[in-house]
Structure 1
Amino acid sequence: MELIWFYVAIMLAISDVLHTTLMWKVFNNFYIILGGLIQQSTHSAWQTWLAHESMEAGFHFIVVSIVFLNPIIGIQAALIHFVIDITHTIFIRDMGVLEHRALHFVIESLFFMLIYGL
């Protein structure tokens, strides 16, 4: 079994930590202003949240596509991360950071195992 599934899942986890670090520690003021602008241009909290998750998926697409030099892997990574974020936010309200990361890593690993590991 090739390990590309593992490398993609690891890179997606790193990309998620990178996104959190950049947005909340480096570009914090910009991120808050951008959130306010998005909130004013949408009609509900759900639309604002979906806009945020879509932009985060775009970030993951760019990072993973550059690392693997493959936009197909970038699209797959962004989409699975987006789906997991949407699903666990709707169905699992309270989740710690460790649980959040573990959930993502397990499901993303299984997803990429199905695609690249078999």
Structure 2
Amino acid sequence: MQMIWFYVAIVLAISDILHTTLMWKVLNNFYILLGVFIQQSTHSTWQTWVIHEIMEAAFHFIILSIVFLNPTIGLLAALIHFVIDVSHTVLIRNMGELEHRALHFVVESLFFILIYGL
């Protein structure tokens, strides 16, 4: 069995941690101002949140496309990450950090096993 599914899931998890660290610790003031700008440009909190998730997916697309030199992997990773984020935010309200990371890793791993592991 090819191990690419595992590497993609690991890099996606690292990308998620990198995104969190960059946005909330390094670029915190910029990120808050960007959030205010987006919120003033939209009609609801939901639209602001969806735009945030789309921008996060774009971040993952860029990182994974560069790491694997494959935009298809970047696109698939960004899409599955986006779907999981939207789904668990809508369906599971309270989730700790460890549960959040575990959910992402398991679902993303299964997704990429289906694509690259069989």
- By the TM > 0.5 criterion, same fold? yes
* Aligned equivalents of 2:25, 2:44: Cα separation in 1: 27
2:37 is equivalent to residue 37 of structure 1: yes
Structure 1 position 63, deviation (Å): 0.2
Summarize the alignment of residues 1-118 of structure 1 with structure 2, pairs less than 5 Å apart.
1-118=1-118
Q: Deviations over 1:21-41 (max 9, x none)?
A: 000000000000000000000
Structure 1 position 99, deviation (Å): 0.2
> Structure 1: 5+ residue runs without aligned partners?
none
RMSD between aligned alpha carbons?
0.2
* Aligned equivalents of 1:51, 1:37: Cα separation in 2: 11
* Aligned equivalents of 2:36, 2:58: Cα separation in 1: 19
Structure 1 position 71, deviation (Å): 0.2
Structure-1-length-normalised TM-score:
1.00
Q: Percent identity?
A: 78
* Aligned equivalents of 2:67, 2:18: Cα separation in 1: 13
Structure 1 position 106, deviation (Å): 0.1
Secondary structure at 1:95's aligned position in 2? coil
Letter in 1 for 2:25: K
Aligned residues: 118
Q: Deviations over 1:72-115 (max 9, x none)?
A: 00000000000000000000000000000000000000000000
> Structure 2: 5+ residue runs without aligned partners?
none
